Amino acid sequence: MKVHGLVLVGLPLVGVAAAGADASLSSLTVQDVQSLLSENNLLPFFGEQFEEYLVDGATLQVLDESHVNVGDFPKAKPFHWAKFWSVLEDLRTDDDEVASDVPSAGESKSPLSTASKRRSLMAANESYSGIHIKNNVAAVVLGLDGDVGVRRIADGDMLLEGRVLLEDASGGSDHIDVRRALNDLLAATNNASRDERLDLLIDMVSLNTELIMNISTNCGSSSLSSSSSDVPLYTCVDSLNMEADSGLYSTESYGYVRCENDISIGGWTLAMNIDTSDGNVVSYNNAAFWQGETTLGGATDNVHQSLTQDYKNVDVFNSFPVGQILIVVHDEGTVLGWRAFDMLDDDQPLAYYFQGGEDSVNICGSSFDDQTELGLDGYVTMSSGSFDADVGELSDMEPLVYADDCELLSNIDISNTEDYNRLTCVSHPEQDASGNYGYGLGTLYDARHDPDGGTISVGLCPSDTIRPLCDGQLHTTTTNWGSASGTGGMIGSDNTCNGDCPWTVESGLAYDYAIYVREASEELYDSCDDAMANDAPSGAYLLSSGQRVYCNNDISLGGWTLALNIDTSDGNVVDYSNYQFWESTTELGGARDYTVRPFHHDYKNLDVFSSFAANEILVVVHEEGEVLGYRAWTLYTPGQPLGDYFIGENECGTDDSVGELGSGNFNYVTSAVIDADVGDLIAEEPIVYNDDYQLYANIETGESHDYNRLTAKDHPELGSAGNYGWGLGTLYDATSETSSADCPSVSARPLCDAQFHVTGGNWGSNGGLGGMIGTDNVCNDDCPWTVSSDYEYDYAIYVRKATPVYYASCVAVAEAGESSGQYLLSSGDHVYCYIDDKGEGWTLALNIDTSDGNVVHYSNVAFWETSDELGGAKAHHATPFRQDYKNLYAFGEFEATEMMIIVHEEGVGFQNESLGWRSWNLTASQALVDYFSGANACGDGVTALDSDDYATMTSGITGGAVYDLVSLEPMVYNEYEVFANIENGNSYDFNRMSAKATAAAADSNKGWGLGTLYDATHTDSDYVCGPDGAETARPQCDAQMHTIGGNWGTSSGTGGMIGTDNVCVSDCEWTTESGYYYDYAIFVR
């Protein structure tokens, strides 16, 4: 039992004497500050630096955010900083309190121990006196039976328990029953729609302000952001829709619940909490907790204690249809990390999964007289993919949240040795895990072992074992659940193992687990094309048809649906003979069908492969998800599923029959190339590299029975010498074992996932580059002809229904009445077309995001001066305004006569929705790159700049508006012409682009524009730029304001730097942030 001290504020209470004043903040020593950080779990993130800088209490007294360089604290995340500033605010508030702390009997209390663990409520009530209970779970209960009381239930919120009556304002004897008054208001709405109910709740806010005089238990705040309410909601999603904070709410079907609206997409309802050190054990044996529809298994159902001990809301557990689940790892309510998952089923409650699903798999009996048998092969799959996560500083052994490629499973033996968990997360349920490494929540390990060390024939539950029976267990790196060495396995201290528990070793980590649920997301797309049209990013989606697919919206025009992935080194071989993978519409051939992280193993989507009516195909060469190159084609037979291309000609046969392959047989797959980017792929790459090749399936390459499931050739005839086969899914020298080319077949020749088109004979074994891509192969007889290339290319194969329309230019896009977006030009180039307010089309050449971490300062030659390099920018046409963007065609080839600059923040809508814009005529019909690669170009080395050199870009303004821009904005605000590679400070302040009244306009040490290099002479005796020069302590930024204060805004007034991107050196004393985050989109036409 915890006994908390009281702080007595102001007037002394009768019979209570002050025990001593709290120490002041300014009196703390450096070591006191270290202790403070440790007590608040902040020492790992700030301790080393604070000790180095001798931070004491006096320093904390004056410290504010402007004094801190967050880069000096690399381990501190934003939520660590938020907690630190909150603790510091509490300490400063305590300094102002006249308070004394009464420790519990026998307790020596530090003056820091309570000040940092509460939010002060004293600031608005300093003129009052009374009792201050210094604990976040505090209450005053009245009456012999405790029938009424006041409880603190969340930051800033209290709960009044009992009937609340208000006295008549006139002093009469009548009282108002608040709850009855609210219920009367709701009585007429029992049959109202959901939207009508929400409207009523909003309308009631102003009424309640008068009626209940701001009593927070009855929605008496001026908005619905109070974290508790007696006005019933349907679910926590309703609280989110009303922009309410996380906290406690009353719901119609699930009672009083805790809602979490700050993590991921919000709208989460707490169903269960597992406190791993509260003394109540929720091991696998605890059927009352994990399976019981009305029982708690020792947990509480008091929502006020739902994050500080084991908790279960039986209504949510039994009847809430779970579409998404959130697992939060925390420490008594302090979030440490979390992961959100989509559920495989979106209409089952949690009870369904822990009660073993439809077949009651691996459920536990209610007592030792009612034991049930457990099975190694049983489990229930809960999730179908993780869609959001933040693992914070969690240990990599954490079992549910840390890993990003796993699915939630219930009631499963995790290591094939009767190590059962109620809830765990694994990459695939059939994994061949070694025994005695079980991990997850609700454990029962070595279920066949009895307390005396003997072994029984089957796993039983409940079971009395000397192995771990715990709330939670880490995924340890050493055997016997961490007891062999290293970190112990048990999370927290709750366990019921016996026999001195030799295999149950504490990890020292006290992670707690909050399990939240949510209805299925209402955002269901019809297809990947639909997801693309709604600006959805690449990722896994549940379609309205119920299919789960992976969509790629970043490559080519987006809207691609993943059908197959071939991981050439995952241990599963998809050679030609693997007919289950290449031909079957019902079998996977050893691949997986999990859409979460599909690029880390062989993957096959049976629905897409067998029934998707495809018009186009995209093959992406990658390495574990990192794109290396791609090519897209139109398919030879529009509307035909991908699987149909691998049957008919040269089918393989089955385990019971043999198919005979023929040299003249094959299937056409594609008819025309529509898009490609080969990146840095080597010339021997067999599918994507060559420009004019088409795809063919089940075809012989070479003249020696070298068959491939998929290859690229300039024509289908053989036309090349034997023993040079190339492509995916190989079977080479198919006649080497028999007189005919049979499939399935065994061979000493390459039977691989993929093979290069090598120049050395015998598939690269004669010399030069080896042929085999990756390591997956099943050749035999020591594989003398199968030689590794040491390349690990993987292959993702997508399909798409829509056939793109080609336009001559963005002007033609506008004339066709299309809206802004990405388009494919008849030249084969992809561009982003912007349709302005007049209906005219512009082509996006550059976007400068001033705070994306990539710096496009003057010396970024690749960005400003080349037509074939990006300079750290991206070329993703689907999301061009969220980072530095460069379209190589629009910047390096497009001969433009007009230019427009739109100032925005992370997105361009219509011009009148931007921050400001301006358009000009250009001085010549030429590519933008030509303005930056001539006068004062940097080049590849150290280049001297000339104050008299520059390029005039524009010759007349054609339109513009400044809207909300500040007058210091350097490009659009003033009706000036634009110059390139120009000095504009009379002090060697060079900009890639600057708007000026005249070319000679100068303002010393107040340079302004895009792509800066200021005081270039401070790098050397000459003012220089280029990759090997330009190290200066002056601003080298993406963009700079035309400041009023000298030295680029460091002397006074607004700072000069727009955004945060810069590469200045020597503490950057002349580079000061303006606080503005303008981004710049540059269009041409």
Joined together, the tokens standing for residue 70 give 């967050």
Give 1022's pLDDT tier (boundaries 50, 70, 90).
low
61 — pLDDT class (breaks 50, 70, 90): confident
Q: Compare 191 and 2 and report the one with higher pLDDT.
A: 191
For residues 271 and 350, the answer to whether their CB atoms sit within 8 Å is yes
Cβ proximity of 955 and 938 under 8 Å: no
- pLDDT computed for residue 250 by the predictor: 85
pLDDT over 90 (residue 546): no
pLDDT for position 740: 59
**Angle 258-263-267 (CA atoms, 0-180°, nearest 5)?**
50
The phi, psi pair for 481, rounded to 5°, reads 55, 40
pLDDT at residue number 135: 63
| Average pLDDT value for residue range 892-898 | 96
| Per-residue burial over 191-228, b = 16 or more CB atoms within 10 Å of its CB, e = otherwise | eeeeeebbeebeebbeebeebbeebbbbbbbeebebbb
- Give the pLDDT of residue 12: 23
Binning pLDDT at 50, 70 and 90, where does residue 850 land? very high
Question: Is the pLDDT at 557 greater than 70, yes or no?
Answer: yes
Please give the model's pTM, rounded to 2 decimal places. Answer: 0.41
pLDDT in the model for residue 762: 82
User: DSSP E strands: which ranges in 873-975?
Assistant: 885-886, 896-904, 916-926, 943-944, 951-952, 954-961
Residue 225, pLDDT score: 24
In this predicted structure, what is the pLDDT of residue 452? 60
Residue 937, token pair as written in the block: 């170009």
Q: Read off the pLDDT of residues 245-269 as tens digits, 9 standing for 90 and up.
A: 788 888 888 988 999 988 887 789 9
Confidence bin at 174 (pLDDT 50/70/90): low
**More reliable by pLDDT, 117 or 468:** 468
Over the chain, what is the mean pLDDT?
80
| Cβ pair 69, 46 in contact under 8 A | no
115 pLDDT exceeds 80?
A: no
- Residue 896: pLDDT over 80: yes
Mind listing the pLDDT tens digit for each residue in 851-872? 999 999 999 999 999 999 999 9
**pLDDT surpassing 70 at residue 168:** no
The share of the chain scoring above pLDDT 90, in percent, equals 38
Q: Quote the pLDDT of residue 536.
A: 83
Question: For residue 192, what pLDDT is reported?
Answer: 53
Contacts with 313 (C-beta within 8 Å, 6 or more apart), sequence order: 254, 255, 257, 269, 270, 271, 272, 301, 303, 306
Band (pLDDT 50/70/90 cuts) for residue 109 is very low
SS3 of residue 1081 by DSSP: strand
Single-letter code of the amino acid located at 732: Y
Each residue's pLDDT tens digit, 803-823: 657 899 999 999 999 888 878
**Least confident among 113-117, 376-380, 497-501, 885-889:** 113-117
Residue 760 has pLDDT above 60, yes or no: yes
For residue 898, is pLDDT > 80? yes
More confident residue, 764 or 717: 764
- For residue 9, pLDDT over 50 is answered with no
Average of pLDDT values for 916-937? 95
Confidence bin at 537 (pLDDT 50/70/90): confident
Among 241-250, 313-322, 459-468, 777-786, where is mean pLDDT lowest?
241-250
What are 646-689's pLDDT values in tens digits? 998 888 877 666 677 877 788 889 888 889 999 999 999 999 99
Given this model, what pLDDT does residue 165 score?
A: 63
Task: Give Cβ neighbours of residue 256 (< 8 Å, ≥ 6 apart).
Answer: 248, 249, 250, 303
Do 312 and 289 meet the contact criterion of CB atoms below 8 Å apart?
yes
Q: How much is the pLDDT for 127?
A: 38
Q: Which of 337-346, 546-555, 935-944 has the highest mean pLDDT?
A: 337-346
Quick one: how many helices (H) and strands (E) in the chain?
Answer: 18, 55
Task: For the beta carbon of residue 838, count every other beta carbon within 10 angstroms.
Answer: 8
pLDDT higher at 91 or 10 = 91
pLDDT at 454 over 90: no
Residue 1066 confidence (pLDDT) above 80: no
Dump pLDDT digits (tens) for 696-753.
999 888 667 888 999 998 877 655 566 778 899 988 877 655 555 677 777 778 889 9
pLDDT tens, residue by residue, 955-974: 999 999 999 899 999 999 99
The predicted structure's pLDDT at residue 89:
84
pLDDT tens per residue, range 198-225 = 455 444 433 333 332 222 222 222 221 2
